[in-house]
Amino acid sequence: MLNCLIVDDEPLARRQIETYVSRIASLKLVGSVRNPSIAGEVLKAEPVDLIFLDIKMPQMSGIDFLKNNDIFQQVIFITAYPEYAIEGFDLEVTDYLVKPVTFERFLKATEKAFAKVGGTETIKTIGKQPDYIYVKCNQRFEKVRIDDILFVESMLNYIHLITANRKYTVYSSLKAVEASLPRDRFLRIHKSYLVAIQHIKAIENHQIHLEHHTLPVSRSHKQAVLEVAAVLRER
């Protein structure tokens, strides 16, 4: 399920996209607003995965909205002005739709959004650099040292990758991140958490303690955690 936000100053255009969203069971509309200022407030209050964004609007263009804000969500431009296509793709948007938009073309664009959820385009590893992964956030790839990762937290269709000094928000799945990290150095402790074994300070009851974080251990993962605890006690 992708939570969607529509941003367009034209009421008729918004209603059309609202109708299209309602026809796709895997999309959920959490907001439909007339300008980027209101969109910013929605993004602070609601979990949003995908933004359908008009380009030419009175107060602020969709392009300026992306340039002036840290937008990690996927964006599909919907506009009556095809001449903005090149600039739109320079911002690495998921797709670019020209009004009037048919449902078939809209569906194709959303399929591109779902294709990115798996994380294949947001997480990269380079064979010559086995100690690092590259994660895409704020429209660019960031180099992250694997030893610096404390834990990874899943939030709907994106993840928070936590180090001692920074939090990276990446549009991906926890499964995709787990596949990119060394299996012998990270432990799944919950459906929403993956933790670096070397940073575990203590294990008790249904919790794992790191330096400044306490994470829950689910019942289904407790046995794996106990096995790791036994190994840690032997060291």
Q: What is the pLDDT of residues 2-16, one digit of tens each?
A: 899 999 999 999 999
Residue bearing the bigger pLDDT, 215 or 134: 215
179 shares its domain with 220: yes
Per-residue pLDDT tens over the stretch 172-197: 888 888 988 998 899 999 999 999 99
Of 117, 132, 164, the last residue of a domain is: 117
Question: How large is the average pLDDT for residues 218-235?
Answer: 80
For residue 62, report the phi and psi dihedrals to the nearest 5 degrees. Answer: -60, -35
* Distance (Å, whole) CA 24 – CA 210: 41
102 shares its domain with 184: no
Give the pLDDT score at 39. 94
pLDDT at 233 over 90: no
113 shares its domain with 220: no
State the total domains in the chain: 2
* Distance (Å, whole) CA 72 – CA 139: 7
What is the pTM assigned to this prediction? 0.57
Of 80, 96, 117, the last residue of a domain is: 117
Give the pLDDT score at 117. 64
Q: What is the span of the domain harbouring residue 226?
A: 123-234
Residue of 31, 84, 95 lying closest to 56 (CA atoms): 84
127 shares its domain with 223: yes
Per-residue pLDDT tens over the stretch 47-106: 888 999 999 999 899 999 998 887 878 899 998 888 777 776 678 889 999 999 999 999
14 shares its domain with 40: yes
Question: How large is the average pLDDT for residues 25-34?
Answer: 93
127 shares its domain with 208: yes
132 shares its domain with 216: yes
208 pairs with which residues across the strands?
A: 203, 215
Q: How far is CA 127 from CA 96, 226, 232, in A?
A: 33, 32, 30
Residue of 107, 27, 91, 15 lying closest to 55 (CA atoms): 91
Binned at pLDDT 50, 70 and 90, residue 22 comes out as very high
Per-residue pLDDT tens over the stretch 106-157: 999 998 888 776 555 678 787 778 899 988 876 567 889 999 999 999 986 6
Give the pLDDT score at 44. 87
Residue bearing the bigger pLDDT, 234 or 198: 198
Give the pLDDT score at 81. 82
DSSP-derived secondary structure letter, 142: E
The domain that holds 24 is classified in CATH as 3.40.50.2300
The domain that holds 182 is classified in CATH as 2.40.50.1020
130: preceding bond cis by omega (within 30 degrees): no
For residue 3, report the phi and psi dihedrals to the nearest 5 degrees. Answer: -80, 130
* Distance (Å, whole) CA 235 – CA 233: 6
Give the pLDDT score at 24. 93
